[in-house]
Amino acid sequence: MSKILEVRELNAWFGATKAVKGIDLSFEGNTVTAIIGPSGCGKSTFIRCLNRLHEEVPDASAEGHVLLNGDDIYGKDIDPVAIRRKIGMVFQKPNPFPSLSVFDNVAIGLRLAGLRRGAMLKEIVEKSLHLSALWDEVKDKLNAPGTSLSGGQQQRLCIARALAVEPSVLLMDEPTSALDPISTAKIEELVTELKKTVTIVIVTHNMQQAARISDSTAFFLLGDMVEYGETSKIFTAPKDARTERYITGRFG
């Protein structure tokens, strides 16, 4: 399998505080990688470095290399804006854009990037809503405000929004932690389906979720990556004692 994303010696800071400490990690194409670890261990910070969103926080900085298909997104003269089109993100809290319709929420990324052709836009929006398994539920209310959907639907709308610009990697930061069990199950199902088209990196606090949907798992602790491996191995025979303690719920 080919490595689509390779992280080398990645460090990230908030001011003078180091939150991510020299991470090396690779992601295979069309797989799901789960990032687990106790609260505050730097999971969010880490994945926000992968699309260069971390540096948008005042005083935050990052250093290291992240190779997307071999090209360093932290290289000189690289425009973070262009990177973010290739590496999309879904956030913990469903956050459809206020006062935009369901349709416009999905279309806006393309529209603001300059796509004006209505027919093509419609096609891509429809495709994205199908991909995010939302189409059947919203096809009759594409003009309703995005915020009028249920929490679970809003989160799938956000997934559709991210997919519309056709990224090759999708970062998900605890995408189900604000959702009910049924919505959560739908999104888990969706993730498994989506890996046919994109590579997924998902942060989760839910061990069962990580075990169910991911191919590989990375365990973070205090900004370090303690262990990385096939999900089945990590959950059945972790090498590190700290990993074992965490996944069996004895700390964190």
Partner 1 sequence: MKRRFSDYVFRSYRKRKSVNAAMVAALVAAAVIALIPLVSVFGYVLQKGLPALNVAFFTELPKPVGETGGGMANALLGTVTLVFLGSLFGVPWGIATGLYLSEYGRGRLAGVVRFSADMLASIPSIIIGLFIYALVVVTMKRFSAIAGGLALGLLMIPTVARSSEELLKLVPEHIREAGLALGLPRWKVTLWIVLRGIRGPITTGVMLSIARVSGETAPLLFTAFSNRFWQRGLDQPISSLPVQIYTYAISPYEDWHQQAWAGALMLVMLVFAMNLLTRLALSSAERARK
Ligand X SMILES: Nc1ncnc2c1ncn2[C@@H]1O[C@H](COP(=O)(O)OP(=O)(O)OP(=O)(O)O)[C@@H](O)[C@H]1O
Residue ranges in contact with ligand X by CB under 6 A? 14, 17, 19, 37, 39-45, 57
Of 17 and 143, which CB lies nearer to ligand X in the complex structure? 17
Q: Which residues pair with 5 in a beta bridge?
A: 27, 68
CB 153 within 8 A of CB 178: no
Taking the C-alpha atoms of residue 14 and residue 229, their distance in angstroms, rounded to an integer, is 28
Binding-site member from 53, 68, 200, 225 for partner 1 (CB under 8 A): 53
Using Cβ positions, the residue closest to ligand X within the complex turns out to be: 44
Q: Is 44 in the site for Mg ion (CB under 5 A)?
A: yes
Binding span for partner 1 by CB under 8 A among 30-38, 160-168, 189-197, 235-243: 160-168
CB 141 within 8 A of CB 152: no
| Segment (H or E) for 155 | helix 151-164
Binding span for partner 1 by CB under 8 A among 33-41, 93-101, 207-215, 231-239: 93-101
Token pair for 118 = 């209505």
Q: Which does 95 bind (CB under 5 to 8 A by kind): Mg ion, ligand X, partner 1, none?
A: partner 1
Binding-site member from 9, 40, 93, 151 for partner 1 (CB under 8 A): 93
Q: Sheet containing 224-230: which strands, arranged edge to edge?
A: 87-90, 169-173, 199-203, 32-36, 216-221, 224-230
Binding span for partner 1 by CB under 8 A among 75-83, 118-126, 190-198, 238-246: 75-83
Binding-site member from 17, 69, 143, 236 for partner 1 (CB under 8 A): 143
- Distance of closest approach, residue 120 Cβ to Mg ion, in angstroms: 36
Binding span for partner 1 by CB under 8 A among 29-37, 69-77, 155-163, 241-249: 155-163
Of 51 and 183, which CB lies nearer to partner 1 in the complex structure? 51
Token pair for 150 = 């249920």
Q: Which residues pair with 172 in a beta bridge?
A: 90, 202
Handedness of CA 143, 144, 146, 152 (dihedral sign): negative
Q: Sheet containing 17-28: which strands, arranged edge to edge?
A: 17-28, 3-14, 60-68, 71-72
Amino acid sitting at position 222:
L
Residues at the site binding Mg ion, with contacts judged by CB under 5 A: 44
Residues at the site binding partner 1, with contacts judged by CB under 8 A: 51, 53, 56, 58, 81-86, 88-89, 91, 93, 95, 97-101, 104, 108-109, 112-113, 143, 158, 161-162, 165
